[in-house]
Amino acid sequence: NGAGKSTTMAAFVTALIPDLTLLHFRNTTEAGATSGSRDKGLHGKLRAGVCYSTLDVVNSRHQRVVVGVRLQQVAGRDRKVDIKPFTIQGLPTAVQPTELLTQTVGERQARVLSLQELKERVEEMEGVQFKQFNSITDYHSLMFDLGVIPKRLRSSADRSKFYRLIEASLYGGISSAITRSLRDYLLPENSGVRKAFQDMEAALRENRMTLEAIRVTQSDRDLFKHLISEATSYVAADYMRHANERRIHLDGALALRSDLLGS
């Protein structure tokens, strides 16, 4: 214990979601704890002066992006923290974020630059862009465009759900309610797809009914065809029987007539 696991993860989450209404930390070793960590959250993890939490990212387009926040305690009893989000684009791979955020003082000491000093240092570097944000929404919008986060996070509700996802991965114990909420958030239902499948199912059902009707009609047609054929054969046979009987009777009558005339 005391190696800095909780502080490191708190820095990661703060740079990812710099929303003070959500940031609440407990020690990672206190998996079942419901109370906050002993250092009283983000304010207690800081010391007087300026500090930074940054994420050095290479996105799918092979672009290096440094996103982060400047943190500073606000004097007073309400234990507030001032957070300023920013991004740095185009930073050469040879430059480490620590070198950019600090200034060496002596052999074994360094001074953390203020945000204005950081901005001035970055602006002196050719091809490197520094951007500061006044709203979390704009910060997350650019992070989404750069492929750092999976959704744009336009609203506080979106940020809350994304924060719960990150928190669950840190401390575990994700509940079924959170699972359902995250499923609905990350995989929202597309009513258009549902309607398309319903229409497809209805069309298939109509097709099956039409094919069945065609089969029944063909069966009835075959039956009538067979009946007509058999009736025709019956009538023809009956006609031939009567014709043969008539011919026999005629032949018999002619024979009797010949006998009478001969006698």
95 within 8 A of 47, measured Cβ to Cβ: no
Band of residue 32 on the pLDDT scale cut at 50, 70, 90:
very low
Helix (H, G, I), strand (E, B) or coil at 10: helix
| pLDDT of the residue at 205 | 93
| Alpha-carbon gap, residue 153 to 151, rounded angstroms | 6
| pLDDT of the residue at 49 | 80
Over residues 58-79, mean pLDDT: 85
Alpha-carbon 155 to chain mean position: 18
| Alpha-carbon gap, residue 137 to 221, rounded angstroms | 71
pTM: 0.59
Band of residue 167 on the pLDDT scale cut at 50, 70, 90:
confident
CB burial class (10 A; 0-12, 13-18, 19+) of residue 101? buried
Over residues 219-228, mean pLDDT: 92
Q: What is the CA radius of gyration of the chain?
A: 45
Kindly report the CATH number that applies to the domain delimited by 5-154.
Answer: 3.40.1140.10
Give yes or no for residue 40 having a pLDDT over 60. no
38 Cβ neighbours under 8 A, 6+ residues apart: 27, 44
The least confident of 11-20, 34-43, 84-93, 247-256 is 34-43
| pLDDT of the residue at 177 | 58
Where in the chain are the domains? 5-154
Over residues 126-155, mean pLDDT: 91
pLDDT > 70 in the chain, percent: 86
